[in-house]
Amino acid sequence: MRIKLTKHASSKIAERNISLDTIREVVTDPDQEEMDRFDDSLVHFIGRVENRFLRVIGRWEGEGEFVVVSAFFDRRLKKGDK
């Protein structure tokens, strides 16, 4: 799978010290997957990274290509959530 980043995603993951490998792991093996509430072309992949949950938002473009729009540690999700 090929991961591409928008300019926004690129700057945000750098600010938040999120590696591309970590993003790839969450997208390929998420704990949870949700469709976006406002844009049906976007999907949210959520995965546990250490004691936090990483939310990766993006869309599929073509076969095997995922474009990341944003990624952040979701503080709304707690340790006991899945």
- Taking the domains of the chain in order of start, what are their residue ranges? 2-73
The 3-class SS string of the chain reads: CEEEECHHHHHHHHHCCCCHHHHHHHHHCCCEEEECCCCCCCEEEEEEECCEEEEEEEEECCCCEEEEEEEEECCCCCCCCC
| Size of the chain, expressed as the number of residues it contains | 82
Q: 1 with 66: CB under 8 angstroms? A: yes
Report the percent of the chain where pLDDT is more than 70. Answer: 95
Task: Report pLDDT for 79.
Answer: 60
The pLDDT mean for the chain works out to 93
Question: 11-39, pLDDT tens digit by residue?
Answer: 999 999 999 999 999 999 999 999 999 99
pTM above 0.85, yes or no: yes
The pLDDT of residue 82 is above 60:
no
CATH architecture of 2-73: Roll (3.10)
